[in-house]
Structure 1
Amino acid sequence: MGKLKLVLEDDFKEDFQIVAIHCGAAPFKLAYYLNKYVNLRLKRRRTDLAFSKDGLEVQFPLFEFKDTVNYTVYDLVSNTCKTAKAHTTASGGLFGTQATEENITTYLVPEYKNVDYFLKITSEYDQAPINKLLSEVNKIKPVISSYHIENEQIKSKNNLIFS
């Protein structure tokens, strides 16, 4: 009798497009500029994108806009999270405890450490018109540059899957 072999493929795919944005502004300011100049209506979600990494709880600010007319969802997420980790050491004396604090920067997508924000575009259509969006984003004064990143180039794309 023949053997039945089941092959499980990693077919966990979500079709989305990613725009990398280099901008020194705070997340809420960038969301404001995108709302004003690109005609989005980004709002901060009640819960940020949070997970544990190396024993630290990291949270990335997350803004969302659901365009029901065009069946498109826009998510703006910061790529960096800065957390402080406290260390206490005992020196053995009367006043022997010394507290130090270490600032740790965690990246949502570590292979793109120089990117400040990601704009994730999920559309019911095959492709959202991204060239017009890029030209409008690049016209915003605080934005240094923005460009499209292919999904295949992102190694840690599972960090960008949130709903």
Structure 2
Amino acid sequence: MIHHKLEMAEDFEEPFTLIAIHCGEEEYKLAYLLNQHLNTRFKRRRLDIDFPSQGMMVTFPIYDFVDEFNYSQYHLVANKCRIAQAALQSSGGLFSEIGSEKDHFLLPEYKKVDYFLKIYSDFETRTLQSLVSQINKIEQIVSAYSLETINIKSKNNLIFD
């Protein structure tokens, strides 16, 4: 009996563009600012992105915009999620708690980035440089720049579907 073995040598991931955004505003405020300045319509998903981390589920809010005329999809996601952990202290009181906060990152290799804007596009209608310069013109944004996607170690965290 003849056995056939299929080998998948190529990586079939969709190409995307990733923009790092440094901004001190909350995610809903950033989505609102991008809607005003970029003529987009970001809306928050009903379900956030969940990742298991150190025995608990970490959630990251995500905002989507689909541009049907230009065949593009935009995803705005926060990089940092802060979780408050409560631990009971045995000495001191009957129900005294010690609270600590721990940060979890969507892409741990970019800990200083606040938000990521991920763009899928079949056609490049506006250049990446013009989009980044439009984002940098927003007063509340400290800086925005494009990232090389081949350097990202945790690409699996950027799968939002």
TM value normalised by structure 1:
0.88
Deviations 1:62-106 (A, max 9, x none): 000000111100000000000012222434x9x566422220100
Structure 2 counterpart of 1:69, one-letter code: F
What corresponds to 1:110 in structure 2?
A: 108
- SS of equivalent to 1:90: coil
Structure 1 counterpart of 2:146, one-letter code: H
Residue 10 to residue 50, structure 1, CA distance change in 2 (3 Å): farther
Residue 128 to residue 58, structure 1, CA distance change in 2 (3 Å): farther
- SS of equivalent to 1:125: coil
Residue 104 to residue 31, structure 1, CA distance change in 2 (3 Å): same
Alignment partner of 1:158 is 2:156: yes
What corresponds to 1:66 in structure 2?
A: 66
Which 5+ residue runs of structure 1 have no aligned equivalent?
none
Q: For the Cα contact (< 8 Å) 1:14–1:161, is it kept in 2?
A: no
Runs of 4 or more consecutive aligned structure 1 residues displaced over 3 Å after TM superposition: 3-10, 95-98
Which 5+ residue runs of structure 2 have no aligned equivalent?
none
1:12 CA displacement: 4.8
Residue 121 to residue 87, structure 1, CA distance change in 2 (3 Å): same
Q: Residues 4-153 of structure 1 correspond to what in structure 2 (within 5 A)?
A: 7-9=7-9, 11-91=11-91, 95=93, 98-125=96-123, 129-153=127-151
CA distance in 2, matches of 1:97, 1:33: 43
Percent identical residues: 45
TM value normalised by structure 2:
0.89
1:135 CA displacement: 0.8
Residue 37 to residue 84, structure 1, CA distance change in 2 (3 Å): same
Structure 1 counterpart of 2:57, one-letter code: E
Deviations 1:88-137 (A, max 9, x none): 2434x9x5664222201000000000000000001123786211110100
Q: How many residues align?
A: 161
